[in-house]
Structure 1
Amino acid sequence: MPQPDAPRADAPQPDAPQPDAPQLDLATLHEAVAAAVPDRECLVWRDRRMTWREVTDRTRRLANVLRAHGLGRREGTHEPWESPHDHLALYLHNGPEYLEGLVGAHKARVAPFNVNYRYVDDELAQLFGDARPRAILYHARFAGQVERVVKRLDTDPLLLQVADDSGTPLAPGALDYEEALAAASAEPPAGVRPSPDDLQILYTGGTTGLPKGVLWRVGDLVHGPFQVRRRDGSPITDVDEVVARAVRGEHRVLVAPPMMHGGGTWSALGGWCGGACVIFPHRVDGLDADDLMDTAERERATRMPIVGDAFARPIVEALERRPRDLSSLRTLLNSAAGISPGVKRRLLDLVPGARLLDILGSSESGFSVTRLGTDARFLLQSGAAVLSADRTRRLAPGEDEMGWLAKGGGSIPLGYLNAPEKTAATFLTVDGDRLVVPGDRARLLADGTVEVHGRDATTINTGGEKVFAEEVETVLRGLPGVADALVLGRPSERWGSEIVAVLGPADAPDDAALRDGCAAHLARYKIPKAFVRTGRTLRLPNGKADYALARELVEALDGTAGTGE
């Protein structure tokens, strides 16, 4: 995600670093910044305020705990879908321990990976079966699930339990996290030299299939999603230059999206690479907009990532109920979901000193295109391109073809863990350049801007016409009385597939009003044939669309519904 001194959305974008260019690693950068500003605030949550010196001490101790239990990296060659590391599972809500786990793992040359804390036992067992963790760092509230699932594995991972307000006792065989750190050395792990080639694993949300472990080299993360770059977009490859920028910076990043997904993690770690203090709101098991805005005001946050309407609407409502002094807030970074135009305008009016940057990307690409404020179209970022429909060539501006958004330039992942076929299908070579094609459809316009149509997985073929769900969702969310909307297709004898909208609140306008509202913005074939209203939230904790719930609600419809024209 863009970090301090990130390039303007309209700035020229040079090529990203190639794999043989000098790169930096997270562990070395964190140590270097800490040495330069040891007494500056590094992390704030509730009543805990830790300096860079204190966080460095704790991450070193965690690294030594992992090394003492035999975890590390094995040398030798490996395929793009293989990992030479032992793996640390981060099964946590946001908080200091999540960031300590990420950085401490890298200082031990262990690959950390994210765990969705909403998973039930079978989903967690599938994830652990794929990732094969040698250690699990988890909040006490998840101890029972960890105990049950670990029994189903053919390994015996190290268990590090973090005390929380659940009051859950220490699980049998587990180490208390704080006691383990207190007993470990605060010196850098002996003989360990972190490398830009070390890996971090980011599991996808599984919205288009089973979760996949995306294998990121740390060096590519630093110059890609962490945005260790100059204002002109060129990568910074010298540690001293990074440290000098960090010393000047003193930014404060307020992270509300769950770090079990890429946006939250990248914002926090990118902030640390720029010397920022990372702040968490008091509540970390869900969004409390009043708590979030109170924290932003109290801690003088300068930057805050958000996730679409799921965050923007409650924030707007909280600020309209009670304005806060947010004069320090300069940047709002929106990713992973769209913000309705009306909500965006209200948000910008309420925080007039901040710019709103929309970022579109994926776990596999980092961010590919951006747009500023109320702009309708996106700008290609470093290494991004639009490929032809057959994915064999780059499209030129103005070619009237619905293509695929792609990302290259060097700072992209290696592949998917344990998945050579999926790696080959997603990571392509076009005109000699290696590109990742996550699945977003796009059109490259004559002026070089990009019109994004959304994921191919959410495209609905109805009566021979292709409809992009996100286009219809955006229109619905802009209608009076509609708080949120998801659109999907269901089998239809007449149309092959027909469009159905699931929306909230439960007392949303009637079908006729919704169809009339859509008709002002959409061709007739794009207007939903049926509407399902619900009082349940249609968003996951990270703000992304919960299409599984939407499909469940659609399948519960009367079989005679949705037969209109």
Structure 2
Amino acid sequence: MDLPFVVATLTRRGLLTPGRPVRIVSQLNALRTWGWSLAGELRQAAARDPGRPAIIDEDGIELTYQDLLERAERTARSMRARHGLQPGDRIGVLCRNHHGLIETIVAATLLGVDAVLVNTGLSAAQLRTVAEEQQLRLLVHDDEFAERVLTLPADLPRLDERAREELVAGALPGELRPPERDGRIIVLTSGTTGTPKGARRPTPHGFGPLVSIIDRIPLHVRDRVMIAAPIFHTWGFAALQVCFALRATIVLHRRFDPAATLAALAAHQCDALFAVPVMVQRLMEVPAPDPRPSLKAVAVSGSALPGGLAPKFMDVYGDVLYNLYGSTEVSWASIAGPDELRQAPTTAGRPPHGTRVQILDDDGRPVPQGRVGRIFVGNEMLFEGYTSGASRESRDGLLDTGDLGRLNADGLLFVDGRADDMIVSGGENVFPSEVEDLLAGLPQVREAAVIGVPDPEYGQRLAAFLALHPGETLDSDAVREYVRRYLARFSVPRDVVYVKYLPRNATGKVLTRELRRYVS
């Protein structure tokens, strides 16, 4: 990434603002000594702005950057003394969004320990598999998961919220030195079709990754930011990294509730919100407060943005919506800003500075403009492989996302869905996302999902699952006729199933395996 661009972006976002020389020197020393790990990012923030609020929890706990660093250091010293953790060990973190989650992750990186961020939606059986496959030495969990962790091996130490606080309070004095290896953050893939895989996230090596994001999304030093997206997910964790770098004040709620979120945005005068698309959809289902939150940015990622949602949201809250397309494996691929979402509401936008995106065929050759192919991405934050030792296909430094998509004449990226979601019905390729976007536009429909199911005659057929707004009804034949009017005959769903809600994981992705149970 070229230096003039980096300097210009950092200046524009306030990171090069003059300050007290002694604090600037301390800040730079923290980065030089501890690097760009989460521990290094927190240390630099505490060195420059020690008294600035770092975290505001919904239960009223407010911690400054100095408070947060001290608590993380005490946690690290206690985990090392009581549980013998050494660089290279792995701990599991099964927590919702609150200060304890962040303290635990930072403590792990201070020790060079890998932190496995566990999806709070995993079943007890999936949790046991993750603990065994990741060879966890310790599990830190919220009290609400006490029953779920009972099936774990008896020799795996567990820390609930009270025990974790005892670690903080009972820490012995001592000094923490930079570990011999960086502690890795291991994010679990979404697991919508089975047991999730652990993906090793790389440690940034400079300002590049931060600049790629804040160049396109207007975030500034000392902003107040609510992270509603789960921090155990790639997008929520990326938000945490950005906030530490910007010395932002982070507002956290353990669970997402649309009315409570709007109230918190107003009460804490938040400048930005990090969320997943289904959260934005839920915000539109409650009355907008008066006055409305004066947000500069609502940044979403983690799943597809339903067609029509972007302009509807911006009509209410202003042109502040930013849609980032990426994955656990490639981090980010593209970002769509308000102008692009006004122009094309389902676009994934354009690659940010320092990122390459190509659409390739199965032989690795670029496909013509507008043609659907496999999306390959290259940037400096590609994952380091799965913890199992497996990886993804790469070509010329670009990694396969597993998604299919196309680029239009304006260079905008459109994602047509997962490669393994495309179905072949009667010899025709069908992309369920196209049908989903069409059905989501019906005024009676609250949310829609379309999947392929086995069919003895055509090989596969489409099944549509619709959750309607309260009090609404729809005729299945009318739904099929509506699709037939706008799309090809092979895109018409044979099955139309009405459900109260779509089953989703904690990051908002639809669990297709759950839907298949409705159709024989």
* TM-score tier after normalising by the smaller chain length: 0.7 to 0.9
Do the aligned residues in 2 keep the contact of 1:6 with 1:229 (CA within 8 Å)?
Answer: no
Match of 2:15 in 1: none
Instruction: Kindly indicate whether residue 359 of structure 2 is the aligned counterpart of residue 359 of structure 1.
Output: no
Q: 1:458 aligns with which of 412, 421, 436?
A: 421
Match of 1:70 in 2: 84
Instruction: Kindly indicate whether residue 311 of structure 2 is the aligned counterpart of residue 325 of structure 1.
Output: no
3-state SS of 1:123 partner: helix
Instruction: Kindly indicate whether residue 251 of structure 2 is the aligned counterpart of residue 251 of structure 1.
Output: no
Which whole-Å deviations, capped at 9, do the CAs of 1:238-289 have from their partners, x for residues lacking one?
Answer: xxxxxxx99x7111111112223222222123211211111113xx23x311
Q: 1:140 aligns with which of 136, 143, 147?
A: 143
Rounded Cα–Cα distance in structure 1 between residues aligned with 2:500 and 2:133: 36
Unaligned runs of 5+ in 1: 9-21, 74-84, 164-175, 234-244, 556-565
Instruction: Kindly indicate whether residue 464 of structure 2 is the aligned counterpart of residue 479 of structure 1.
Output: no
Rounded Cα–Cα distance in structure 2 between residues aligned with 1:184 and 1:206: 37
Which whole-Å deviations, capped at 9, do the CAs of 1:138-173 have from their partners, x for residues lacking one?
Answer: 11222233232123xxxx33322114xxxxxxxxxx
Amino acid at match of 1:52: Y
1:59, distance to aligned residue in structure 2 (A): 0.6
Match of 2:433 in 1: 470
Match of 1:236 in 2: none
Unaligned runs of 5+ in 2: 1-7, 13-33
Do the aligned residues in 2 keep the contact of 1:297 with 1:325 (CA within 8 Å)?
Answer: yes
Rounded Cα–Cα distance in structure 2 between residues aligned with 1:193 and 1:222: 22
Do the aligned residues in 1 keep the contact of 2:77 with 2:172 (CA within 8 Å)?
Answer: yes
1:94, distance to aligned residue in structure 2 (A): 1.5
Match of 1:54 in 2: 67
Amino acid at match of 2:362: D
Rounded Cα–Cα distance in structure 2 between residues aligned with 1:419 and 1:404: 23
1:299, distance to aligned residue in structure 2 (A): 0.6
Match of 1:25 in 2: 37
Do the aligned residues in 1 keep the contact of 2:360 with 2:375 (CA within 8 Å)?
Answer: no
Do the aligned residues in 2 keep the contact of 1:208 with 1:457 (CA within 8 Å)?
Answer: no
* Sequence identity (%): 25
Which whole-Å deviations, capped at 9, do the CAs of 1:337-374 have from their partners, x for residues lacking one?
Answer: 2333433222112212x521111111111110221222
Rounded Cα–Cα distance in structure 1 between residues aligned with 2:233 and 2:493: 31
Rounded Cα–Cα distance in structure 2 between residues aligned with 1:186 and 1:277: 28
Match of 1:495 in 2: 458
Scaled by the length of structure 2, the TM-score of the pair is: 0.86
Amino acid at match of 1:263: W
Q: 2:362 aligns with which of 366, 387, 390?
A: 390
Q: 1:338 aligns with which of 288, 301, 304?
A: 304
Match of 1:347 in 2: 313
Instruction: Kindly indicate whether residue 27 of structure 2 is the aligned counterpart of residue 42 of structure 1.
Output: no
Match of 2:160 in 1: 161
Q: 2:261 aligns with which of 292, 297, 303?
A: 292
Match of 1:109 in 2: 112
Amino acid at match of 1:315: L
Which whole-Å deviations, capped at 9, do the CAs of 1:21-75 have from their partners, x for residues lacking one?
Answer: x9732212211110111110000012111101110111111111222232122xx
Rounded Cα–Cα distance in structure 2 between residues aligned with 1:257 and 1:23: 26
Instruction: Kindly indicate whether residue 246 of structure 2 is the aligned counterpart of residue 274 of structure 1.
Output: yes
Q: Which has the higher mean CA deviation after the structures are superposed, 436-445 or 131-140?
A: 436-445
Amino acid at match of 1:62: T
Amino acid at match of 2:191: G
Do the aligned residues in 2 keep the contact of 1:406 with 1:436 (CA within 8 Å)?
Answer: yes
Scaled by the length of structure 1, the TM-score of the pair is: 0.79
By relative contact order (CA 8 Å, sep 6+), the higher-ranking structure is: 1
Q: 1:200 aligns with which of 185, 189, 195?
A: 185
Which whole-Å deviations, capped at 9, do the CAs of 1:459-500 have from their partners, x for residues lacking one?
Answer: 111111111121211111111201111111111122110101
Rounded Cα–Cα distance in structure 2 between residues aligned with 1:491 and 1:290: 41
Which whole-Å deviations, capped at 9, do the CAs of 1:212-233 have from their partners, x for residues lacking one?
Answer: 1111122269744xx2558668
